[in-house]
Structure 1
């Protein structure tokens, strides 16, 4: 298969998406020619480093292309903890690396984004991370320097964070997950490499749940407070690719075409946020604060999204119907909704349909699965109030009681 290269945003030269080549060839080619960098710092998932020869294979291919690996970190913990990033920042500086290459999942991608921003702003402690988070935002804040270190990603999951310049990292001392955002046109991500073979090492629950995270991007884009036609079209295309592909992957984990379609759909899922500037809502916003409570990043969608949709239906029922009709029009999805969910097209709502799909993928649906009971809801709701995606939910979530109403449905 020949390489296929396309712009993520047709109006901008970068980032580009590459698929069709083996990941090691695409990375080596684009690092040295597109990015013109020769001393990458590799961030590789723990499972890939343990179970495959990805580090050796990539190191050799990079060397043949004239690049020398500065250092390698294999795996970081979920939710991208400050205490995991700080040693990498120190090593990056000491080895004089000039770029990040990520081969792995969402925590590593978030790490590369946050660290690129952190390197530009001299971050070297928990306190300086917190200071940067406070000053980060749509205008860059006072005394902010923009990222100069590029990163490229070959991902093994479907969360699709590699398409945005938003990065999340958690202060493990406070259990508060912060969003870091560099608004610069040249910030960070430059090349996204897609190779479905790499995804075979991802645990099935991770592959499928991160796929639902990408579905969440699509759904909240269509159902946004201020929807945009171009964004809605891209998101509905993402749904048409993602959900049938996830159901196919569940049936046959080795279906590489299903995995490729899911990866391409995940890219579509981010166009609303990144290209068309659509604000997401409560599923993402509350989900950011479920993570530090022990809910894996992508699985927050499985717990929250149906409940958020039911809460928001009072103001965006017509938008939700666009998604619902798209689901029913896909034969493999419709079969699942009828046979496994006993749903009727005329009476089921979008929250019901997604509940059936999540359960068909054998993913957790309730907070109780993680040992989170009613006694923890108050603190989760309180800290969620400060998340900017909570503030852009279609129904204003401006009081703790409103967030608690959603969380109660998730017990």
Structure 2
């Protein structure tokens, strides 16, 4: 008889297809928030009118705007945003942008609740299981599709150590996510498509996990099917809003298994290190690592990998090959060499990867750095 545990997150609503400005204002009405800190993409703020539209819809309820979050959510930027939130007496954080902004706001929630006021003071809450619960919550308008808005954890880069740290609490999951395909047309093609492969990675590692369960499978398999068809459609026609929305909904589904308790594996674990230590974008880490991890794992989860290939429309084919083909169709990098990572770095990457949350829970047991290096060599 099967047994298991399904965890439900703290998100209250997902709104899809409505314009972001209208949807953000409606969410503030719903929850009664009066002073929103907007944490937004600097590029979106400076080169489009999308942020101005949101500010216009909120009027006096927009307390301040922070638009200086670099990639990989470094500690110094978290502190700067936290201080802005304090000065504005914000009662809500609204994020409009990619995964680094979404994760950054999660960390800001924890810093506010735990009276964190300096980069060094963040040691008190980094990688800790039970910080003080956030009271200033978050609403997320994602412009990429890596799916971080559906997670209750954030990755923050410690600039001193070049290591990505976990900031987590059940309540850092946004209260609501707003999926507006129109706002994503400003996202650079490489970024939208590569973060789509990050979402594919969520689906695939969930399906292939040794801890998979039916609830997670249902979402991951459907999400994978939507992404496998939607991403090439966006590549072929960037103005196809229906395809973009399919990718956004597929991304939402891709996070169902992770947020309900299914762990990720070596692709995510190694990706953490590549991002923090080598500044490889999140999406590119999955483009490079996922097929290699699948091939290394195949001896222990061949039947689960067959589900992946079938969901992607290629039953009876090797899942690693199917993934490789999708990534190539999208024009994404397919080797560590292409993202600036050389074999002389492999030993350091392998050692760091063993300390991530996910490598120890890879479906094929990884006993030590030597086996991580085997995977890296497959992706070289």
* TM-score bracket for the superposition, by shorter chain length: over 0.9
User: 1:232-381 residue pairs with structure 2 within 5 A?
Assistant: 232-274=217-259, 276-292=260-276, 293-328=278-313, 346=316, 348-381=317-350
Aligned counterpart, 2:50: 54
- Asked whether the equivalents of residues 47 and 202 of structure 1 are also in contact (C-alpha less than 8 Å), the reply is no
| Divergent runs of 4+, >4 A | 9-13
- Give the unaligned 5+ runs of structure 1: 1-8, 330-344
Q: 1:214 aligns with which of 170, 193, 199?
A: 199
Deviations along 1:84-136, whole A, 9 cap, x unmatched?
111111121122111110111111000011111121112222222223114x2
SS for the counterpart of 2:370 is helix
Aligned counterpart, 1:151: 138
- Asked whether the equivalents of residues 225 and 313 of structure 2 are also in contact (C-alpha less than 8 Å), the reply is no
Query: 1:197: Cα distance to partner?
Result: 0.5
Query: 1:10: Cα distance to partner?
Result: 11
2: distance between equivalents of 1:60 and 1:295?
A: 36
TM-score (norm 2): 0.95
Aligned counterpart, 2:3: none
Pairing 1:117–2:104 present? no
Pairing 1:390–2:359 present? yes
Aligned counterpart, 2:92: 99
Aligned counterpart, 1:226: 211
SS for the counterpart of 1:70 is strand
Aligned counterpart, 1:192: 177
Query: 1:187: Cα distance to partner?
Result: 3.8
Q: 1:12 to 1:384 in 2, by over 3 A?
A: closer
- Asked whether the equivalents of residues 78 and 297 of structure 1 are also in contact (C-alpha less than 8 Å), the reply is no
Q: 1:408 to 1:10 in 2, by over 3 A?
A: closer
Pairing 1:23–2:20 present? yes
- Asked whether the equivalents of residues 50 and 183 of structure 2 are also in contact (C-alpha less than 8 Å), the reply is no
2: distance between equivalents of 1:36 and 1:117?
A: 21
Deviations along 1:126-180, whole A, 9 cap, x unmatched?
222223114x23xx2xxx3111111101111100100111101001111000111
Q: 2:151 aligns with which of 164, 172, 175?
A: 164
CA RMSD of aligned residues (A): 1.6
Aligned counterpart, 1:334: none
Aligned counterpart, 1:41: 37
